[in-house]
């Protein structure tokens, strides 16, 4: 298992950029699927970016072309580069790591999820 700590949040003007970091301690992180979530006040938590252990990437439609997820495998860090920020991007951003284990011959999978504490991003003039 791993422990996750996010950093890099803060206040930025619309159109600006920010890079979030999620640092992991423990073992096995490089083999886990990783996601960035965000939750705005009064809104449901949503996935904004995903990177699998195979390094494939997906993004929410609302952030495609603006956000980039990446991993520093050697140092066990996952990043979220955010460009062209909008006020609606304001939220607490959280990283998640998922360990998936196949538990039977039929392909049943058991998931273990690990979460950071979140970091606040505020986009405002």
For residue 27, pLDDT beyond 90: no
For residue 28, pLDDT beyond 90: no
Give the pLDDT of residue 7: 97
Give the pLDDT of residue 1: 79
Spatial strand order in the sheet of 77-82? 2-7, 18-26, 77-82, 67-72
């Amino acid at each position: 298992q791993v422990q996750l700590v996010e950093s890099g949040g803060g206040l930025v003007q619309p159109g600006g950029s920010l890079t979030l970091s999620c640092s992991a301690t423990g073992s096995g992180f490089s083999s886990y699927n990783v996601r960035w979530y965000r939750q705005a006040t009064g809104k449901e938590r949503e996935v904004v970016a995903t990177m699998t252990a195979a390094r494939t990437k997906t993004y929410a439609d609302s952030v495609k072309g603006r956000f980039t997820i990446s991993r520093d495998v050697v140092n066990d860090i996952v990043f979220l580069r955010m460009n062209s920020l909008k006020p609606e991007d304001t939220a607490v951003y959280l990283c998640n790591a998922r360990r998936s284990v196949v538990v039977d011959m039929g392909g049943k999978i058991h998931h273990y999820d690990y979460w950071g504490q979140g970091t606040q991003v505020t986009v405002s003039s």
